[in-house]
Amino acid sequence: MSDLIKPQDTAHPMVRSEAVHKSYGLVEVLKGIDLEVKQGEVFCLVGPSGSGKSTFLRCINHLEKVNGGRLYVDGELVGYREKGDRLYELKDREVALKRRDIGMVFQRFNLFPHMTALENVVEAPVQVKKESKSDARERGMQLLERVGLAEKAKSYPAQLSGGQQQRVAIARALAMKPKLMLFDEPTSALDPELVGEVLDVMRGLAEEGMTMIVVTHEMGFAREVGDALVFMDGGVVVESGHPREVLTNPQHERTRAFLSKVL
Amino acid sequence: MNETDQGSVKPGRPEAIKAVPVRHPGRWAGVAVIAVLAAMLGHAIATNPAINWTVIGDTLTNPTIIHGIWVTLELTALSMLMGVVGGVLLAIMRLSANPVLSATAWVYIWIFRGTPVLVQLVFWNSIGALWPKLSIGIPFGPEFWSENSNTLIPVFTAALLGLGLNEAAYMAEIVRAGIQSVDEGQTEAAHALGMSRAATMRRIVLPQAMRVIIPPTGNETISMLKTTSLVQVIALVELFTAGHDIYARTFQTIPVLIAVSMYYLLMTSILTVGQYYIERHYARGANRTLPPTPIERLARLFRGKPVPPAKSDVVTGAEGGGHV
Ligand SMILES: Nc1ncnc2c1ncn2[C@@H]1O[C@H](COP(=O)(O)OP(=O)(O)OP(=O)(O)O)[C@@H](O)[C@H]1O
Ligand SMILES: [Mg+2]
C-alpha cells in the first residue's frame, strides 16, 4: 500500500520529500510530508481544503521556503546547497535556474493579460533561455496547435474562455521543456463543460511520459490516468497507494469521509 | 435581439420599436441659463477697454514669450523624466525586501514630499551658500576633482533639481500604487517560469501597472507644466516670468496674462490628447476591444456606420445629439 516511500533502485525519483515541514508564523501547515514521485509518473494529490496541497506544490519549485526536512527534485535539494552538514541558501539566480525545469499550472490560470496567447508562450523561452524570437515563435505555434488553439494565437487572455486560457497556460509551461509539471487544481475554476478539454490535454501529456503532480478533485481523472495517489489532511499524508486501490477501498476513516463527499 | 424568433407571428425581422424618447426639459433650461451668462461675460470682455486685444496679439508673438514657451516645455519634459525614472526606482526600493533600500526610499519621500517645492527650488539655487565648492574624493581624505557650486549648478540645473527631485517623490507613490495593483499571481507565474525578479518587474508587472500609473501621471505632467512658473523665484525666464517681465514694464497685466494663459491652455490640451493615446496603448488585453480613437469616432459618424435598425426608427425628439 505505502510502497511509495520505498526508495527506487534503478533511477532516482523525480521528487523525494523527507519530513517536509512548513509553517506560516506559528501556524504549521505541513507537518512532515514523506513521499516519492517516480520519473514519468502521474502523481495525484487529494485532500480537503486547507490541508496543505497547494503549499506543498509551491515548496517543490521554491515559491515557498521549506522550514524543515529535505525536499529533492531530480536528486537535487530544493532551495539549498548541502555542504558537509551545513545548508547554504541558494541565490535568487540559482533558484530561478532550477525553476526553469519545473512547469506550473495554476487554478486561476495567471496568464499575462497584456500579452497575446502566443506572446505568453514565447515570453519565458526568449527572456529566460535567450532563444531567438523566431525559433521561440515557431515552437510556440506548435505548442498552441498541440493544445488545439493555433487559431487563437493572436487573442488576448480576456478574449478566451476559461478552458482555452488554461490550455494556453499549459502550453506556456511546456515551452520551457520542463521535466516535471505541477498542476494546482487546474480545472477547479472552470465551468463543467470546459473541464474535459483541459483534462484531455493533461491525459495526452501523461501518455507521452511527462512526470506530473496533480492536485485535483477530479477523481475520474485520478482513477483513469493516475499512477499514484496521496490523500492529505491537516498537513500530513493520511493514505497513499494506487488510485484505484485508494479510491475504491480506502483504509482510513478520514479518507472515507472525504471521498464520500467528492465522489 | 433582432434575431428571428421561431414562434413569431410574422416571418422575418420583427417590427422595430417605435417609441417617443424621454424628454429632458431641465437640460434645455440649463442651456438657456448658461447661454445668457456667457453672453453677459462676452459683452463684459469685448467692451472692456482694459482688455486690449492688440496687446494680447503682440504678446502672443513676442519673442521673449516664445522663448519662454520653450523653456517651460524643456523644464516640464526634463523634470517629468527625472520624476518618472526616479519614481520607478524609489517605488521598487520602497517595495524591496532589503530594509536599507526601503528605508532610504521612505526617508527620501518623507523629505521631498514634506517640504514646499518653492523652498526646494531656492535651496538648490543657493546651494553655493552651503557648500561653495563641490568635490569628488574620499571623505576626510584627498580630493580628486572640485568645482565652484555656482558654476556647476546654473539656474536651469537648479530649477531641474528642484522640480525633478520633488516630482520623483510624488511619482514614487503613484508607481508603488500601480505595482501593488497587479495581481500577485502574475509575479508567481513569472517566477515559476524561471524569470528573474528584474525581468518579472520589467516585462510582467510594470506594463500592467501602467494602466493604473498613467492617469495620475498625466495629471502630474499637466500640473508640472504650470508649476514650472514657480522658477520665477530663482529668476529663470520661462513662459510666466517672460509675461511677468513684460507687464512689469508696460503695466498691461491682464492682456499679457490672457495671452500667457492661452499658451498654457494650448499646451495642456495637447498633453491631454497625448495621455488619451498612451492610456489606450496600455489598455491592450484589459478590454476585450479597444475603444475607438476620437478620429475613428468622427469617421464613423460621417460614414454613417450601420446604426441598429431599432434605433433609426425612434422618433428623434428634443435630444438630437449626444451629451451636451
Ligand atoms: N501565505 C500564507 N500565510 C498564512 N497562512 C497561509 C498562507 N498560505 C496558506 N496558508 C494557510 O495554509 C493552509 C494550507 O493552505 P493550502 O493553500 O496549501 O491548502 P490547500 O490544500 O491547497 O487548500 P485548497 O483545496 O482550498 O486549495 C491553510 O490553512 C491556509 O490558510
Ligand atoms: Mg490549493
SS (H, E, C) B91-114: HHHHHCCCHHHHHHHHHHHHHHHH
Q: Is B280 on the interface with A (CB under 8 A)?
A: no
**How confident is the model over B95-154, as pLDDT tens digits?**
999 999 999 999 999 999 999 999 999 999 888 777 777 777 787 777 777 777 777 778
Closest chain A C-alpha to B214 CA, distance in angstroms: 15
Q: Is A223 on the interface with B (CB under 8 A)?
A: no
Q: Is the CB of A216 under 6 A from ligand 1?
A: no
Q: How far is the CA of B182 from the centre of ligand 2 (A)?
A: 21
Q: Which of A99, A116, A127 sits opposite B192 (nearest CB)?
A: A99
**How confident is the model over B291-300, as pLDDT tens digits?**
677 677 766 6
Q: How far is the CA of A54 from the centre of ligand 1 (A)?
A: 7
CA A148 to chain CA mean position, Å? 21
| Helix%, strand%, coil% for chain A, nearest 5 | 40, 25, 35
Nearest CA in chain A to B191: A96
Q: What's the pLDDT at B289?
A: 64
Nearest CA in chain B to A172: B193
Mean pLDDT score of chain A, rounded to an integer?
92
* A103 interaction partners in chain B (CB closer than 8 Å): 192
Long-range contacts of B35-39 (CB under 8 A, 24+ apart): none
Q: What's the pLDDT at B2?
A: 46
> Of A52 and A3, which is predicted with more confidence?
A52
How far is B77 from B13, CA to CA, in rounded Å? 57
Nearest CA to ligand 1 atom 4: A24
Q: Is the CB of A29 under 6 A from ligand 1?
A: yes
**How confident is the model over A90-141, as pLDDT tens digits?**
999 999 999 999 999 999 999 999 999 999 999 999 999 999 999 999 999 9
The residue among B313, B113, B117, B133 whose CA lies nearest residue B232 is B117
Contacts of B155 (CB under 8 A, 6+ apart): B125, B231, B234, B235, B236
What is the interface pTM, i.e. ipTM, of the complex? 0.92
Q: Is B287 on the interface with A (CB under 8 A)?
A: yes
Q: Is the CB of A38 under 6 A from ligand 1?
A: no
> Of B48 and A160, which is predicted with more confidence?
A160
Q: Of all residues in chain B, what percent carry a pLDDT higher than 90?
A: 55
Q: Is the CB of A209 under 6 A from ligand 1?
A: no
Nearest CA to ligand 1 atom 17: A54
Confidence band for B5, pLDDT divided at 50, 70 and 90: very low
Residue whose entry in the numeric block shows the C-alpha cell 459618424: B301
Closest chain B C-alpha to A93 CA, distance in angstroms: 7
Q: What's the pLDDT at B321?
A: 32
* A99 interaction partners in chain B (CB closer than 8 Å): 191-194
Helix (H, G, I), strand (E, B) or coil at A54: helix
How far is A46 from A257, CA to CA, in rounded Å? 13
> Rounded to the nearest 10 degrees, how much is the dihedral formed by the CA atoms of B249, B252, B258, B259?
-50
- Sketch out chain B's domains with CATH numbers: 52-314 (1.10.3720.10)
**How confident is the model over A156-170, as pLDDT tens digits?**
999 999 999 999 999
- Pairing of the two strands A27-37 and A76-77: unpaired
Q: What's the pLDDT at B283?
A: 81
A27, A43 in Cβ contact below 8 A?
A: no
Mutation site, A127, A130, A133, interface B, largest B CB count within 10 A: A127
Q: Is A108 on the interface with B (CB under 8 A)?
A: yes
Q: How far is the CA of A191 from the centre of ligand 2 (A)?
A: 18
